[in-house]
Amino acid sequence: MSNTLGKKIKDLRQKKGLSLDDLSRRSGVSKAYLSQLENDESKKPSARILFDIATTLETSIAFLLNKEIRVRVQENIPNSLERAALRHEIPKDMVERLAAFSMRGDKDKNAYSEEDWIYLYETIKRISKSKGK
Per-residue pLDDT of the chain (133 residues; tens, 9 = 90+): 457 899 999 999 999 999 999 999 999 999 999 999 999 887 789 888 999 999 999 888 888 888 755 444 445 788 888 888 888 888 888 888 888 776 555 556 667 888 989 998 888 888 877 665 4
Q: Cα separation of 62 and 78, whole Å? A: 22
Summary count for the chain: helices (H), strands (E): 8, 0
Cα angle 77-67-53, degrees, rounded to a multiple of 5:
85
Q: What residues contact 88, with CB distance under 8 A and at least 6 apart?
A: 118, 121
**DSSP state letters, 86-116:** HHHT--HHHHHHHHH---TT---GGGS-HHH
Dihedrals phi, psi of 116, to nearest 5 degrees = -60, -45
- Residue 94's pLDDT is 85
Q: Which of 65, 16, 58 is nearest to 37 (CA)?
A: 65
